[in-house]
Amino acid sequence: MKAEGIDLYWGMKCPVIGSSIVVKQLIMALGGGILFVFIILAIVDISTLFSALPALLGTFIFLVVLGLIIAGAMQFFTKGGPYAEFAVTNKGVGYKAGDESKAINAITLAGSVLGGSLSGAGGSLINISREMDFMEWKEMRSVTGYRRDHSILFYRKELINPFAFYCTPEIFEKVMVMAREKAPQAKIKVKYA
């Protein structure tokens, strides 16, 4: 099957709590922070590390559970996840956040500013700046398709700003074919879980 000349455009609800991409990214982000603290403690004082290990593990579990609760609330209040629009063209891939995502970003920014949280405001501004983005095929480092939930994760060569696409089964197959043709330099794989 060749994808030459095909442009795909679609919109759909993006699952949050049921998405393997969201859960894995959450665990990786929080795990990276905990690992950083672990390494610092190991360098500073190994005995402190062992005494702090239960607290580190407890903090990690608490943050993962809290993140999943927030993801579940987002999915519930948006009735299945926030809506987004996706495009796959001969030049690359792009997405545009829907009105629900834009409202969530604006509310979290306002709440962070009112609450005096600079890190929260910074995160909200990053989300607002990424409400629409595009990645050319030549920029891609890897493309991973998750067959179970028909989602695809695109990574740039710099490993920043990955894109998560949510597809129907038919679109999933077409996008994976286009990725193999248009981004031969990228590592492309399909996972079933």
Non-local CB neighbours of 10 within 8 Å, separated by 6+ positions: 85, 86, 167, 168, 171
Non-local CB neighbours of 4 within 8 Å, separated by 6+ positions: 181
Give tens-digit pLDDT for 127-163.
787 778 899 999 999 999 998 889 999 999 887 778 8
Residue 117 structure tokens:
């949280």
Distance between CA 88 and CA 135 in Å, rounded? 10
- Give the model's confidence band at 176: pLDDT under 50 very low, under 70 low, under 90 confident, else very high: very high
pLDDT at 3: 45
Instruction: Identify the burial level of 137 via C-beta atoms within 10 angstroms of its C-beta, where 0-12 means exposed, 13-18 middle and 19 or more buried.
Output: buried
pLDDT at 193: 61
Nearest to 132 by CA among 108, 163, 103: 163
pTM of the entire structure?
0.72
Other CB atoms within 10 A of residue 190 CB: 13
Distance between CA 44 and CA 62 in Å, rounded? 25
Give tens-digit pLDDT for 26-74.
888 888 888 888 888 888 888 888 888 888 889 989 988 988 888 888 8
Phi, then psi, of 130 in degrees rounded to 5: -105, 25
